[in-house]
Amino acid sequence: MSQLARPPQNDEELTHVDPEDDVKMTIWEHIGEFRTRLMRAAAALLAGAVVCWTFREKLLAWISQPYMNAWHEKFPNDPPELQTLAPADAFVNYMQLSLVGGVVLAAPVIFYQLWAFISPGLYAREKRYVIPFVLFSTTLFLSGVAFAYYVAFPFSFQYFFSLLGDVGGVKLTSRPTMEFYLDFTTRMLLAFGGVFELPLFIAFLAIAGIVTPRQLVRFSRWAIISAFIIGAFVTPGPEISSQLAVSGALILLYFMSVGLSFIVAKRRDDEPEGSK
C-alpha cells in the first residue's frame, strides 16, 4: 500500500515536523484526511450561504447595481428588468446567489483547510507561513472579486448596452432573466477571484522548484500578449481604457508573481542545508 505523510495533529507539529520525519499513513488515511478538510470547508461555505440567504434581497440589489447604472445611462426613461420564467426561478436563483456569497465569506476557512491538507508535504520553514498564506490568498481572491465588480462589470455593460436602441427602424432592447444575469455575474466574480490567485500559485511552483525566476522572466513577453488577449475578450468593444485596465491588472499580477518567485528562490538559497 502506498504510504504518504500523516497530517499534523496540532500547531506544534504543523510548525516543526519535516516531511521526512512524519509518521506514514496509507492512501486511504490520506483520502480520509482530504474528506475531513473538504467537509470543514463545505461547512464554512454552508454557514456563509445561510448568512447570505438572510440578506438575499440586499445581495441581489448589490450585484445588480452595475447593470442598473449602465442601463440608466443608456435608457434614462426605461426601468431595467430581470425576468423569471417559472414560479420557482426566483427561489433557485436566490439559492445560487447565496452559495456564491458563501464561497466569498468562507474564503479564509477554505484557504486554511487547503493549507492544512498540503502542509504535511512541506518543510518546517514553509509551514510557518500558514497565517500569511491565508491572509494573502484571501486578499487576492477578494481583490479579484472587487476588480470584476468595480471595473469589468461597468465597462462590459456599457458596451453591451451601446449596441441596443433603434437600429434600422428596429428597436433592440434587453430583458435578461434573473438566472442568466446571475450566471454571468457570479461566474465573472469567481473567475476574477481565481485569476487573482496567480501570484500565490506561481509562488508554490517556485517553492516546489518547478519554475525559476529566470524562466518566468523569459516567459514575460508571452504573458503580456496573453494579458492583452484576455483583456480584449473580457471587455469587448472599441473603448481602449477598459481593455488597458483589465490587461494592466493581469500584467501587474504576473510581475508580482515574478517578484515572489525571486523572494522564494533567495530564501531557498540562503537556507542552511540542515534546516531544510
In a domain, 249, yes or no: no
Query: For 190-230, how does the pLDDT look when each residue is reduced to its tens digit (9 = 90+)?
Result: 988 988 888 888 887 877 778 888 888 888 889 889 888 88
Q: Which domain holds residue 96?
A: 3-196
210 inside domain: no
Number of domains in the chain: 1
| pLDDT surpassing 70 at residue 177 | yes
How do residues 76-115 score in pLDDT, each as one tens digit? 888 888 999 988 999 999 999 999 999 999 999 999 888 8
Residue 87 domain-assigned? yes
Residue 111 is assigned to a structural domain of this protein? yes
Q: Is residue 109 part of a domain?
A: yes
Has residue 218 been placed in a domain? no
State the SS3 of 208-242: CCCCCHHHHHHCHHHHHHHHHHHHHHHCCCCCHHH
pTM of the model: 0.78
Judge whether 240 lies within some domain: no
Higher model confidence: residue 275 or residue 262? 262
Outline where 124-239 has alpha helix (H). Answer: 124-127, 130-147, 153-162, 178-195, 198-207, 213-218, 220-234
pLDDT confidence of residue 25: 64
Answer whether residue 250 is part of any domain: no
C-alpha closest to that of 141 among 168, 105, 176: 105
Whether pLDDT at 56 is above 90: yes
Predicted pLDDT at 2: 43
Side-chain half-sphere exposure of 263, counting CA atoms within 13 A: 11
Instruction: Using DSSP bridges, classify how beta strands 3-5 and 24-26 pair: parallel, antiparallel or unpaired.
Output: antiparallel
Q: What is the mean pLDDT of the chain?
A: 82
- Contact yes or no for 83/178 (Cβ under 8 A): yes
CB of 230 closer than 8 Å to CB of 253:
no
Find the mean pLDDT for residues 271-276: 54
